[in-house]
């Protein structure tokens, strides 16, 4: 089957690449063995940079601009500030179009993201804080700017659900009391009409998300918590208030309680991440993207050295896609490799000869990895991986996402920012070579 662009990987980077190309009318296919880790494990917000040189980052875009000289091999330095702004704005625009808006979002060209826009600090289910550059509107009611006092309320109520064990309201309340100098207390609520303890294993995040999509469920929750509000000025819930109708559920609950309501992501699976994935998938499907999910990709004709021989004039011609019941060959004018790092399956580890440790390899096309830092795929300024002689492996192959990174994205707090920016840029570069 023939396409203009084939994207390998269904994480945030692959989605950004597919959205950028399909938005310009390209015929796009997306191939992936499963959902990207950021959708399953992430908090559903967009980070850019949380920590630099062991210090919290207040204005991440300004730090991104400085990386061009201080760390020229960092993905942000390769991409440049404007590409970062475009990538963030692309994801935020898609989310807004599909009814899941981010606070602080900007036009698709990124022009509305000022370089001094600060990070938000959002509470975590474990009682700490994490940085987010753009966050779903349902989360910002609990945002803290890192100043001496929490500006959005002197007293906070943190509510958990009986039967749902992946969120402890007292743990979060204790963290708020300790770090934000706010009064915080916790309560456990029954989910109206649901006996959580009677379900095998208790209540799950997807179950509760679908439960709060039902008519009357939010009103029942407001009645359950209403008598326990006291003097609280902000009410925090685990991020379970709807899966398909979360924005409406959040707005309705704020109106019924008469005060800000904030969601805090619980332990995985991440409902905010799944909401974002569903929004992006709707956007892609409406633009004709063909999905091959639950499938693996490989070079169409692997040669002895691990490279495919399907290159004509320096261009990759096709890949093989293996599904549950059949194998197909996908031909395209351009390819985007966004398969993730070791955790995402884009880099595979196999036992090495003793006494050495495991040997890392790029899992789809057998591309050469860099071992400076963690194993990762080196690229040039056009996001092209090198071939054996240092020249681009193929003129129409571009890489994006965490496979580019030889450092700890979780510590740095840059995973979704790098994914959105590099994916968007890879989609632009793929369009250029068609």
Assign residue 186 the CATH number of its domain.
3.40.50
Q: Which helix (H) or strand (E) holds 255?
A: helix 246-257
Q: In angstroms, rounded to a whole number, what is the distance separating the alpha carbons of residues 372 and 383?
A: 18
In a domain, 151, yes or no: yes
Q: Which helix (H) or strand (E) holds 375?
A: none
Instruction: List the chain pLDDT tens, one digit each, 434 residues.
Output: 799 999 999 999 999 999 999 999 999 999 998 877 778 778 899 999 999 888 899 999 999 999 888 888 899 999 999 999 999 999 999 999 999 999 865 555 555 677 788 898 999 999 888 999 999 999 998 887 655 555 555 789 999 999 999 999 999 999 988 887 778 999 999 988 776 544 555 789 999 999 999 999 999 999 999 999 999 999 999 999 999 999 999 999 999 999 999 999 998 888 999 999 999 999 999 999 999 999 889 876 533 344 444 444 589 999 999 987 789 999 999 999 999 988 788 888 887 776 667 788 898 998 989 877 778 999 999 999 998 888 999 999 999 999 997 777 878 999 999 999 999 999 999 999 99
Residue 130 burial (CB count, 10 A): 18
Residue 308 burial (CB count, 10 A): 22
pTM: 0.92
In a domain, 207, yes or no: yes
For residue 344, the model assigns a pLDDT of: 81
In a domain, 100, yes or no: no
For residue 23, the model assigns a pLDDT of: 97
Q: Are 260 and 254 in contact (CB under 8 A)?
A: yes
Q: Are 66 and 96 in contact (CB under 8 A)?
A: no
Please provide the distance, in angstroms rounded to a whole number, between the alpha carbons at the two ends of the chain. Answer: 16
In a domain, 154, yes or no: yes
**How many structural domains does the chain have?**
1
Question: What letter would DSSP give residue 302?
Answer: B
In a domain, 59, yes or no: no
Kindly state the tokens that stand for 427: 């989609």
Contacts 24+ apart (CB under 8 A), 323-326: 323/292, 323/294, 323/295, 324/294
In a domain, 180, yes or no: yes
Residue entry with tokens 């509305």: 112
In a domain, 301, yes or no: no
Smallest Cα–Cα separation from 381: which of 174, 169, 74? 74
At residue 413, the 3 state secondary structure works out as coil
Q: Are 394 and 427 in contact (CB under 8 A)?
A: no
Kindly state the tokens that stand for 359: 């040997």
β-bridge mates for residue 237, sequence order: 263
Q: In angstroms, rounded to a whole number, what is the distance separating the alpha carbons of residues 124 and 396?
A: 41
Q: Give CA separation, 326 vs 9, 292, 329, in Å.
A: 19, 12, 10
In a domain, 248, yes or no: yes
For residue 428, is the peptide bond before it cis, meaning its omega torsion is within 30 degrees of 0? no
Q: In angstroms, rounded to a whole number, what is the distance separating the alpha carbons of residues 346 and 277?
A: 20
Q: In angstroms, how far is CA 110 from the centroid of its own chain? A: 18
Q: In angstroms, rounded to a whole number, what is the distance separating the alpha carbons of residues 85 and 281?
A: 22
Q: In angstroms, rounded to a whole number, what is the distance separating the alpha carbons of residues 114 and 424?
A: 19
Length of the chain: 434
Q: Phi, psi (5° rounding) for residue 249? A: -65, -45
Burial 29-53 (b: 16+ CB within 10 A, else e): bbbbbebbbbbebbbbbbbbbbebe
Q: What is the residue range of 214's domain? A: 137-267
**Backbone angle region of 202, left / alpha / beta, with phi > 0 → left and psi within -120 to 50 → alpha:** left
β-bridge mates for residue 51, sequence order: 56
């Amino acid at each position: 089957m023939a396409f203009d662009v084939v994207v390998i990987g269904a994480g945030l980077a692959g989605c950004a690449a597919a959205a950028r190309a399909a938005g310009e009318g390209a015929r796009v296919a997306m191939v992936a063995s499963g959902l990207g880790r950021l959708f399953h494990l992430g908090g559903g917000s967009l980070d850019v940079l949380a920590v630099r040189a062991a210090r919290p980052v207040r204005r991440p875009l300004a730090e991104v601009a400085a990386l061009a000289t201080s760390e020229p091999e960092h993905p942000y330095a390769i991409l440049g500030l404007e590409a970062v702004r475009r990538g963030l704005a692309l994801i935020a625009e898609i989310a807004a179009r599909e009814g899941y808006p981010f606070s602080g979002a900007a036009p698709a060209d990124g022009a509305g993201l000022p370089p001094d826009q600060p990070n938000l600090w959002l509470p975590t289910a474990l009682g700490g804080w994490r940085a987010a550059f753009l966050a779903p509107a349902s989360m910002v009611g609990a945002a803290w700017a890192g100043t001496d006092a929490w500006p959005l309320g002197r007293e906070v109520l943190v509510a958990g659900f009986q039967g749902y064990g992946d969120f402890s309201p007292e743990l979060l309340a204790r963290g708020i009391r300790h770090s934000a100098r706010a009064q915080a207390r916790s309560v456990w609520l029954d989910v109206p009409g649901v006996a959580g303890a009677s379900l095998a294993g208790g209540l799950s995040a997807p179950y509760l998300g679908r439960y709060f999509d039902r008519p009357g469920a939010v009103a029942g929750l407001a009645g359950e918590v209403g008598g326990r509000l006291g003097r609280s000025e902000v009410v925090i819930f685990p991020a379970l208030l709807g899966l398909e109708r979360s924005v409406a559920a959040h707005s309705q609950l704020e109106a019924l309680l008469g005060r800000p309501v904030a969601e805090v992501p619980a332990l995985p699976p991440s409902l905010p991440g799944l909401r974002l994935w569903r929004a992006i998938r709707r956007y892609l499907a409406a633009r004709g993207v063909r999905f091959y999910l639950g499938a693996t990709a490989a070079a169409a004709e692997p040669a002895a050295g691990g490279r495919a021989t399907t290159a004509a004039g320096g261009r990759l011609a096709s890949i093989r896609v293996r599904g549950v019941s059949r194998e197909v060959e996908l031909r395209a004018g351009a390819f985007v490799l966004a398969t993730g790092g070791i955790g995402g399956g884009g880099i595979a580890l196999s036992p090495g000869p003793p006494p050495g440790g495991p040997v890392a390899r790029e899992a789809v096309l057998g591309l050469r990895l860099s071992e400076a830092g963690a194993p990762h795929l080196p690229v040039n300024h056009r996001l092209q991986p090198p071939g054996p002689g240092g020249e681009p492996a193929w003129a129409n192959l571009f890489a994006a996402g965490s496979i580019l990174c030889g450092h700890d994205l979780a510590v740095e707090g840059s995973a979704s920012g790098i994914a959105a920016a590099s994916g968007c840029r890879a989609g632009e570069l793929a369009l250029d070579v068609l």
